[in-house]
């Protein structure tokens, strides 16, 4: 943040920032994925949001749809505001096929311009985020009408209908719907242990 900047100096500051890659061009688009500090920088974060954001920058689906807004939070606290992105990801422990693992809840269709908050379409293993991103964008490309945003398509088709389309094309560790109230935490043997019974918050 730059404080006490005279108005006449703003163009010069913008030019200097652009020269070091911090310009406004492409901000809030898929070429500039929004991510919180994530782990291991933040003590609350469960997943490395910054590393994931860097990997997604090269995803073909996002390269060809640069107007999509992508936000990644390393925990449910939404520091990256994943609820208002076209594609939002919130990190944490997710249950897939009855097994707990680190992953992300997937939020779709957020758009403040349309007064729309994202809805949870499902959850995915951390290692499969890139693949499901390709699937989600591919489903949108197949279903959208001319000029229709992702939030518009989700609103028209419905979050469950959109999730069913993802199911039809995605092969990986993902499960539709919200994380169950009772979940498990990952353990070295992969079986997990119950947290809810012990009264430990899981979301």
| pLDDT one-digit tens code per residue, 90-125 | 999 999 999 999 999 999 999 988 888 999 999 999
What total number of domains does the chain contain?
1
pLDDT for 139-149, tens place per residue? Answer: 999 999 999 99
Q: What is the CATH number of the domain that holds 92?
A: 3.30.413.10
Q: What percent of the chain has pLDDT over 70?
A: 85
Q: What is the pLDDT of residue 2?
A: 83
108 domain residue, yes or no: yes
Is-contact 30 65, C-beta < 8 A? yes
pLDDT in tens, 22-70: 776 655 555 678 889 888 889 888 899 999 998 998 899 998 988 899 9
What DSSP state is assigned to residue 48?
A: -
Structural domain span for residue 41: 24-180
By CB atoms closer than 10 A (0-12, 13-18, 19+), residue 150 is buried
Domain-embedded: residue 156? yes
In a domain, 10, yes or no: no
- Asked if the structure places residue 148 within a domain, the reply is yes
């Amino acid at each position: 943040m730059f404080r006490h900047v005279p108005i006449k100096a703003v163009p010069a500051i913008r030019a200097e920032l652009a020269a070091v890659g911090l310009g406004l061009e492409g901000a809030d688009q898929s070429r500039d994925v929004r991510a919180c500090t994530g782990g291991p920088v933040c003590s609350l974060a469960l997943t490395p949001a910054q590393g994931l954001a860097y990997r997604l920058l090269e995803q073909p689906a996002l390269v060809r749809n640069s107007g999509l807004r992508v936000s990644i939070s390393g925990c449910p606290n939404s520091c990256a505001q994943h609820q208002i992105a076209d594609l939002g990801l919130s990190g944490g422990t997710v249950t897939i096929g009855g097994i707990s693992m680190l992953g992300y809840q997937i939020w779709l269709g957020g758009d403040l311009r349309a007064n729309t908050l994202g809805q949870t379409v499902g959850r995915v293993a951390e290692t499969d985020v890139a693949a499901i991103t390709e699937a989600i964008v591919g489903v949108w490309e197949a279903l959208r009408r001319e000029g229709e945003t992702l939030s518009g398509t989700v609103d028209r088709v419905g979050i469950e209908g959109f999730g069913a389309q993802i199911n039809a094309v995605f092969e990986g560790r993902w499960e539709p719907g919200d994380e169950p109230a009772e979940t498990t935490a990952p353990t070295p043997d992969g079986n997990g242990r119950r947290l809810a019974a012990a009264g430990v918050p899981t979301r």
